[in-house]
Amino acid sequence: MSVLIRNARVIDGTGAPAEACLDVRVDGDEITAVGAGLDAGGASVVDADGLALMPGIVDTHTHYDAQITWDADLTPSPALGVTTAVIGNCGFTIAPCREADRDLVMRNLTQVEGMSIEVLRGGIRWDFETVPEYLDMIAAGRTRINVAAFVGHSAVRTYVMKDAAVERAANDDEIAEMRRIVADAMAAGAIGFSTSTAPQHNGDGGVPMPSRLADDRELAALVGAMAESGRGVFMLTKGNRTDVPYLEELAAAAGRPVMIAALLHNSTNPTGTFDELEQIAAARARGRELWGQVSCCPLTMDFTIASAYPFESLKAWAPAMKTGRDALPGLLADSAFRDAVKAELAEPAGVRLFNGEWEKLEIVEVARAANAAVEGRTIAELAAEAGAQPLDWMLDFAIGEGLETVFTAVLLNSDVDAVGRMIRDPNASVALSDAGAHLTFFCDAGFGLHLMGHWSRDLGVLPLEAAVRELTAKPAEIFRIPGRGRVAPGYKADLLLFDPDTVGRGPKRRVFDLPGGAPRLTTDAVGVEGVWVNGRQIADAGEALDGAPMPGRLLRYFNP
Ligand SMILES: [Zn+2]
């Protein structure tokens, strides 16, 4: 099957200047020629009409591990221009998993994925136990876009340690067993090893995600097991304990790239991320390949007080995660609980999501029609009017609405100058869509379109060619993905045709299409005219094509 895309403005992914009036020929799954006035010879012709053609977006921070088992489309990423998704970030994978531990693994995921246990129970297809079996299942099934998968620390730990995975450090035998699993996963084609030490990563009932219980010895052993394969990226979402100098030691011992998430700008600690980027720069100058993973989206979350993710990294909030729904209003009304939360918010910020910026927290949707007047207003204003302390006002209001009020908080990454600086930092990689996770809290699956539209075109923070490189060739190089991320002969035909004058992501909206009709947030593509994966068109003018092919592949061979 051959396609000739005629008269495109080609942005090839390397950062080189765009070239107008070029034709791109695709034979089978590969780009075979790029040039002016190519012969159509037997190919079907698509007239690009001067629009821009770039490599498909490589989204290196997603969480489709569960969803991919019931939704081979990986909705909504393909329509948003993503042609390769790396799953299994932060250590949150569903493989390996024994039948007896499935509920344990699912309960751990509910909190961090923003999906209910019913969605996961109803949705996940458990046709595997080990990581190699999970990879084979994806490879044998058909997916809309290409997928690469991390072996995830929390699942590995649960597999070896069962309930003790969330209680204690591992002993020598357990570490040896975990090392074997990581090594087998790498041999079977995992893209690397992922973990999290971040305090906001909690499972059901507020128990920490298993990886948070690992000590330095365990982490070094598992990163070492990955490195012995001669391949792999070590990715982690970082908490306070694993600072950059410590990660540099790990990188030095392993000789592998380390992707450090999530560097988000915090207005209450404005130099924090820049200090870390400087430490990363210094480590890179010493020959360690460290990268800071940054986001080009403000971290905005919708939430209810019954599932208040922005507050869940506070130690003082832990009792609320352990308390059942019926007893929760009583706890939230308790002054000792409130005093503890207020005291912790008054401490200087370490790694946490909400930092007491009440002017950035507002009411989106009330539960009682009589309260409609407060929709769209901030907690800072409403509390000031009532002469109340903001936390007290918010909790009292939520209790009065049966904890069903929907709030939204602009938590981090909202300072335009600071985020612009982070995006341009040569030690940073723009990613962090978290697509497939936090589904009721936010949707940044369209981050690539946002980088090109908002940051490049509207704000002029970086040239379009640089934005395209950031989304394509650069992540492909960092993650050692061969043959993708460029528009050039010999590369796989993963392509995105778009209008630079309009490209962007639409407003967020709620849809109810998860298993059992559960809700998730999504956004639509703007200015996308076509998406191809391995030479086959999968989306048209911003929409996934009905009945389109499933040309995605499991990527399991990586450069050293
Ligand atoms: Zn993540």
Contact call for residues 158 and 210 (beta carbons, < 8 A): yes
**Distance (Å) from CA 63 to ligand 1 centroid:** 7
- Given pLDDT bands bounded at 50, 70 and 90, which one contains residue 349? low
**Distance (Å) from CA 439 to ligand 1 centroid:** 12
**Distance (Å) from CA 452 to ligand 1 centroid:** 22
Task: Report which secondary-structure segment, H or E, holds 363.
Answer: strand 361-365
Of 295-299, 467-471, 512-516, highest mean pLDDT:
467-471
- Given pLDDT bands bounded at 50, 70 and 90, which one contains residue 300? confident
**Distance (Å) from CA 434 to ligand 1 centroid:** 5
| Predicted pLDDT of residue 317 | 93
- pLDDT average, residue stretch 326-348: 94
pLDDT digits (tens, 9 = 90+) for 15-47: 999 999 999 999 999 999 999 999 998 999 999
Does the pLDDT at position 284 exceed 90? yes
Q: Which amino acid is at 99?
A: E
**Distance (Å) from CA 172 to ligand 1 centroid:** 28
Phi, psi of 179 (to 5 degrees): -60, -40
| Predicted pLDDT of residue 542 | 65
Lowest mean pLDDT among 114-128, 143-157, 445-459, 486-500: 114-128
Mean pLDDT of the residues in the chain: 94
| Predicted pLDDT of residue 513 | 87
**Distance (Å) from CA 445 to ligand 1 centroid:** 12
Distance CA 322, CA 392 (A): 20
**Distance (Å) from CA 135 to ligand 1 centroid:** 20
Lowest mean pLDDT among 107-116, 156-165, 258-267, 339-348: 107-116
**Distance (Å) from CA 33 to ligand 1 centroid:** 37
Give the rounded percent of residues in the chain with a pLDDT score beyond 70: 99
Q: Classify burial at 140, counting beta carbons within 10 Å of its beta carbon; exposed 0-12, middle 13-18, buried 19 or more.
A: exposed
Contact call for residues 458 and 320 (beta carbons, < 8 A): no
What are the tokens at 351?
A: 């790694």
Distance CA 293, CA 238 (A): 11
**Distance (Å) from CA 438 to ligand 1 centroid:** 9
| Predicted pLDDT of residue 541 | 78
| Predicted pLDDT of residue 410 | 86
| Predicted pLDDT of residue 517 | 87
- Looking at domain 55-298+413-544, what is its CATH homologous superfamily? Metal-dependent hydrolases (3.20.20.140)
Counting DSSP H helices and E strands in the chain, the numbers are 17, 24
- Given pLDDT bands bounded at 50, 70 and 90, which one contains residue 112? confident
- Give CA separation, 274 vs 259, 268, 291, in Å: 16, 13, 13
- Which of 482, 539, 467, 508 lies closest to 83, judged by CA? 539
Q: Classify burial at 313, counting beta carbons within 10 Å of its beta carbon; exposed 0-12, middle 13-18, buried 19 or more.
A: buried
Does the pLDDT at position 57 exceed 90? yes
Cα 23–chain centre separation: 34
Cα 513–chain centre separation: 20
| Predicted pLDDT of residue 307 | 87
**Distance (Å) from CA 110 to ligand 1 centroid:** 13
Domain boundaries, the chain: 55-298+413-544, 308-408
- Given pLDDT bands bounded at 50, 70 and 90, which one contains residue 448? very high
| Predicted pLDDT of residue 267 | 83
- Given pLDDT bands bounded at 50, 70 and 90, which one contains residue 176? very high
What is the number of alpha carbons within 13 Å of residue 20 lying toward its C-beta?
Answer: 4
| Predicted pLDDT of residue 219 | 96
| Predicted pLDDT of residue 411 | 84
**Distance (Å) from CA 218 to ligand 1 centroid:** 21
| Predicted pLDDT of residue 437 | 85
Contact call for residues 502 and 526 (beta carbons, < 8 A): yes
- pLDDT average, residue stretch 263-274: 89
Distance CA 502, CA 52 (A): 11
- pLDDT average, residue stretch 353-373: 92
Does the pLDDT at position 180 exceed 70? yes
**Distance (Å) from CA 199 to ligand 1 centroid:** 13
**Distance (Å) from CA 89 to ligand 1 centroid:** 5
Sign of CA dihedral 111, 115, 121, 123: negative
| Predicted pLDDT of residue 351 | 62
- Which of 360, 346, 345 lies closest to 415, judged by CA? 360
What are the tokens at 356?
A: 């007491």
Distance CA 30, CA 514 (A): 34
Q: For the residues of 233-292, what is the DSSP string, one character each?
A: EEEEE--SSS-HHHHHHHHHHHTS-EEEEEE---TTSTTHHHHHHHHHHHHHHTT--EEE
- pLDDT average, residue stretch 418-445: 93
141-173 burial by CB neighbour count: b if 16+ within 10 A, else e?
eebbbbbbbbbbbbbbbbbbbeebbbeeebeee
**Distance (Å) from CA 26 to ligand 1 centroid:** 34
**Distance (Å) from CA 201 to ligand 1 centroid:** 9
| Predicted pLDDT of residue 37 | 94
What are the tokens at 153?
A: 């620390």
- Given pLDDT bands bounded at 50, 70 and 90, which one contains residue 350? low
pLDDT, greater one: 540 or 277: 277
Q: How many CB atoms lie within 10 A of CB 430?
A: 27
Widest pairwise Cα distance in the chain? 77
Whether pTM exceeds 0.75: yes
| Predicted pLDDT of residue 519 | 84
**Distance (Å) from CA 27 to ligand 1 centroid:** 36
